[in-house]
C-alpha cells in the first residue's frame, strides 16, 4: 500500500478506537438501562454496530501489520506504469480526460480516483507507458484510452 493510504487507514483506526468504540459502549450501557434486552431494539442495534466496528478494527490492524508500505515519491519507473503511479488518461471516443492513482486494495476509493492494483482496469494499465493507447472491455462495452502522462507523487 502507499504511504498516504497507510496514513489514512491509521487515522481511521485511531478514530474507531478513540471515538466510535467509546460511543458504542455508552450506547449499549444506555440501552441496557432501559430494561428487557429481549425486545430492546436500541440494544440490538448498538450491539450490531459494535460487531461491525470491532470487525473493521481487526481488519485494519491486520492489514497495517502485514502491509508493505511503498513511498511513491521514491519510485523511479519513468513513464512506465507500476503500482503507485498516477495516470492521466484521455477517452479516445469522447475526449474526456481523467486521472487515477493505482493503489492497494484496502485504500482504493473510486470517488477519490484511487483504483485498486488488482482491478481489471489497473491490470490493463500496468506495464504501459505515456503515449500508449489501449482498449478496455468494460461491462457497458469496449472503451479506448490514450495514456497522456504518468506521474509518481505521494
Q: For the chain, what is the mean pLDDT?
A: 89
Shared-domain flag, residues 78 and 101 = yes
Q: What is the CATH number of the domain that holds 77?
A: 3.10.50.30
At which residue does the C-alpha cell 440501552 appear?
31
Compare 14 and 30 and report the one with higher pLDDT: 14
pLDDT at 154 over 80: no
Q: Which domain holds residue 129?
A: 72-151
Tens of pLDDT, residues 91-108: 888 889 999 999 998 899
Tens of pLDDT, residues 44-61: 899 999 999 999 999 999
Shared-domain flag, residues 59 and 77 = no
* Count of the separate structural domains present in the chain: 2
pLDDT at 2 over 90: no
In this prediction, residue 69 carries a pLDDT of: 84
In this prediction, residue 80 carries a pLDDT of: 86
Compare 94 and 79 and report the one with higher pLDDT: 94
In this prediction, residue 34 carries a pLDDT of: 79
Q: How far apart are CA 77 and CA 89, in angstroms?
A: 18
Q: How far apart are CA 20 and CA 46, in angstroms?
A: 11
Entry pTM:
0.73
pLDDT at 76 over 80: no
Shared-domain flag, residues 76 and 145 = yes
Cell numbers standing for residue 26: 455508552
pLDDT at 42 over 90: no
Asked if residues 121 and 99 have their Cβ atoms less than 8 Å apart, the reply is: no
Shared-domain flag, residues 106 and 43 = no
Amino acid at each position: 500500500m502507499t504511504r498516504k493510504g497507510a496514513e489514512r487507514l491509521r487515522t481511521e483506526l485511531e478514530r474507531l478506537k478513540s471515538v466510535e468504540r467509546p460511543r458504542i459502549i455508552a450506547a449499549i450501557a444506555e440501552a441496557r438501562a432501559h430494561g428487557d434486552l429481549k425486545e430492546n431494539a436500541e440494544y440490538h442495534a448498538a450491539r450490531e454496530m459494535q460487531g461491525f466496528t470491532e470487525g473493521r478494527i481487526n481488519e485494519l490492524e491486520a492489514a497495517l501489520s502485514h502491509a508493505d508500505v511503498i513511498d511513491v515519491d521514491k519510485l523511479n519507473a519513468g513513464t512506465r506504469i507500476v503500482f503507485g503511479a498516477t495516470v492521466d488518461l484521455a477517452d479516445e471516443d469522447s475526449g474526456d480526460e481523467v486521472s487515477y492513482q493505482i493503489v492497494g486494495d484496502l485504500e482504493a476509493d473510486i470517488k477519490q480516483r484511487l483504483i485498486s492494483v488488482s482491478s481489471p482496469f489497473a491490470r490493463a494499465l500496468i506495464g504501459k507507458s505515456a503515449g500508449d493507447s489501449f482498449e478496455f472491455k468494460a461491462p457497458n462495452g469496449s472503451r479506448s484510452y490514450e495514456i497522456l502522462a504518468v506521474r509518481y507523487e505521494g
